[in-house]
């Protein structure tokens, strides 16, 4: 008989190795449920960046897409940062590149560059400050510049532009396929008919028409604190569908409805087997050129300081 380990065999082997290798597992809210369950910390991009910067373990296993694992290394360069599936990449991050950014900067010499963390390390290196969806408006307001080049998400950029009308925003035309094309007005209307009492909460990477139809927009961590503290008991969640696993686990007394087709296929490339292999072999390592890391650290650290209110 061929031995096939169960999820719980894999999970307990992973936890044993985490202790043996003095590792920490950081997990994004969109990861598969079984991967969320083995995390030491499960969070949004900002929370994960902060945890990575503070980690004192020798090894960081990053269960998220590549830019998140890269940010962990940039913020804590002394650590061995492992990304169990290097092909787990954010397609939106690939929509902006350093050369085109330099060209745009030369056309707007007085503009500050704000880059969403969903960017390559090279684009971060050419930016003044990074942001996540939890702090984008605060980051833009913190800058003295009137003009802001915002990369790469046009939807988050438009959402922020409405909150900071005093700024002139130049928006990069990137987008997230999951939020742009797999979460539609039609999906929300159908769910609202089925669950008229539910509050609709979406991610600011959704289109402006979806955001306008919904009741509120939050980062993934913002969704958790809002739903926890709200008097409402039913919520329609307009973001990657495994966010609802996290919400149901943290807030068992309330009801959450997901949009089933809202999947980020790249987030799903990380499995328990790959996490285990990563711990056993201490690979694949996240590596970046030293000069890019040094330049990209400045905007990331500025974001962490603004996000924490320092």
Asked if residue 31 binds ligand 13P (CB under 6 A), the reply is no
Tokens of 257: 């409805």
**Cβ contacts of residue 12 below 8 Å, gap of 6+?**
none
CB 116 within 8 A of CB 96: no
**CA gap 151, 149 in Å, rounded:** 7
**Residue 44 contact among ligand 13P, ligand SF4, none, beta carbon within 5 to 8 Å by kind:** ligand 13P
Q: Cα–Cα distances in Å, from 289 out to 83, 98, 249?
A: 17, 15, 39
Q: How far does the chain reach from its first CA to its final CA, in angstroms?
A: 59
Residue pointed to by tokens 């787990």: 88
**Beta-strand runs (E) in 107-186:** 112-116, 129-131, 147-151, 168-171
- Pick the binder of ligand SF4 from 76, 240, 272, 274 (CB under 6 A): 240
- Binding string, 54-73, against ligand SF4, x = CB under 6 A? -----------x--------
Asked if residue 71 binds ligand 13P (CB under 6 A), the reply is no
**Residue 88 contact among ligand 13P, ligand SF4, none, beta carbon within 5 to 8 Å by kind:** none
CB 74 within 8 A of CB 296: yes
Asked if residue 96 binds ligand SF4 (CB under 6 A), the reply is no
Task: Identify residues 44-63 at the interface with ligand 13P (CB under 6 A).
Answer: 44-46
What's the min distance (Å) between Cβ of 246 and ligand 13P? Answer: 10
Reference 267, options 19, 24, 60, 42; nearest CA is 42
CB 44 within 8 A of CB 219: yes
Asked if residue 220 binds ligand 13P (CB under 6 A), the reply is yes
**CA gap 204, 210 in Å, rounded:** 9
Asked if residue 272 binds ligand SF4 (CB under 6 A), the reply is no
Q: Which is nearer to ligand 13P, 188 or 303 (CB)?
A: 303
**Residue 266 contact among ligand 13P, ligand SF4, none, beta carbon within 5 to 8 Å by kind:** ligand SF4
Q: Which is nearer to ligand SF4, 111 or 220 (CB)?
A: 220
**Residue 278 contact among ligand SF4, ligand 13P, none, beta carbon within 5 to 8 Å by kind:** none
**Residue 132 contact among ligand SF4, ligand 13P, none, beta carbon within 5 to 8 Å by kind:** ligand 13P
In 229-266, which positions are buried (b, 16+ CB within 10 angstroms) versus exposed (e)? eeeeeebbbbbbbbbbbbbeeebeeebbbbbeebbbeb
Asked if residue 207 binds ligand 13P (CB under 6 A), the reply is no
Asked if residue 91 binds ligand SF4 (CB under 6 A), the reply is yes
Asked if residue 29 binds ligand 13P (CB under 6 A), the reply is yes
Q: Which is nearer to ligand 13P, 45 or 207 (CB)?
A: 45
What's the min distance (Å) between Cβ of 258 and ligand 13P? Answer: 15
CB 303 within 8 A of CB 132: yes
**Residue 31 contact among ligand SF4, ligand 13P, none, beta carbon within 5 to 8 Å by kind:** none
Tokens of 25: 């597992």
Q: Which is nearer to ligand SF4, 122 or 240 (CB)?
A: 240
**Cβ contacts of residue 308 below 8 Å, gap of 6+?**
50
Site residues for ligand 13P per CB under 6 A = 29, 44-46, 118, 132-133, 176, 203, 205, 219-220
Site residues for ligand SF4 per CB under 6 A = 65, 90-92, 118, 176, 178-179, 205, 240, 264, 266-267
């Amino acid at each position: 008989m061929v031995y096939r380990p169960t999820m719980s065999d894999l999970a307990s082997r992973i936890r044993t190795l985490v202790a043996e290798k003095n590792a920490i597992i950081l997990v994004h809210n969109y990861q598969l449920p079984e991967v969320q369950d083995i995390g030491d910390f499960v969070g949004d991009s900002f929370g994960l960046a902060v945890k990575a910067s503070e980690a004192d373990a020798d090894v960081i296993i990053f269960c998220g897409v590549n830019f998140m694992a890269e940010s962990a290394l940039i913020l804590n360069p002394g650590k061995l940062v492992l990304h169990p599936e290097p092909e787990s990449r954010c397609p939106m991050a690939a929509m902006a590149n350093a050369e085109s950014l330099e060209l745009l900067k030369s056309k707007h010499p007085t503009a500050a560059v704000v880059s969403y963390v969903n960017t390559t390390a090279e684009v971060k290196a050419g930016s003044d400050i990074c942001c996540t969806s939890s702090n984008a408006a605060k980051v833009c307001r913190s800058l003295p510049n009137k003009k802001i080049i915002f990369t790469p998400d046009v939807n988050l950029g438009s959402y922020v532009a409405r909150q900071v009308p005093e700024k002139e925003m130049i928006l990069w035309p990137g987008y997230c396929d999951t939020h742009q094309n797999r979460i539609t007005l039609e999906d929300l209307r159908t769910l609202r008919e089925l669950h008229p009492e539910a509050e609709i909460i979406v991610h600011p990477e959704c289109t402006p028409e979806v955001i306008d139809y919904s009741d509120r927009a939050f980062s993934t961590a913002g969704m958790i604190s809002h739903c926890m503290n709200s008097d409402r008991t039913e919520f329609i969640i307009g973001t990657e569908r495994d966010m609802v696993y996290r919400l149901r686990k943290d807030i068992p007394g309330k009801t959450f409805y997901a949009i089933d087709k809202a999947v980020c296929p790249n987030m799903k490339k990380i499995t328990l087997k790959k996490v285990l292999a990563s711990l056993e072999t201490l690979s694949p390592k996240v590596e970046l050129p030293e000069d890019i890391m040094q330049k990209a650290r400045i905007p990331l650290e500025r974001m962490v300081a603004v996000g924490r209110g320092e």
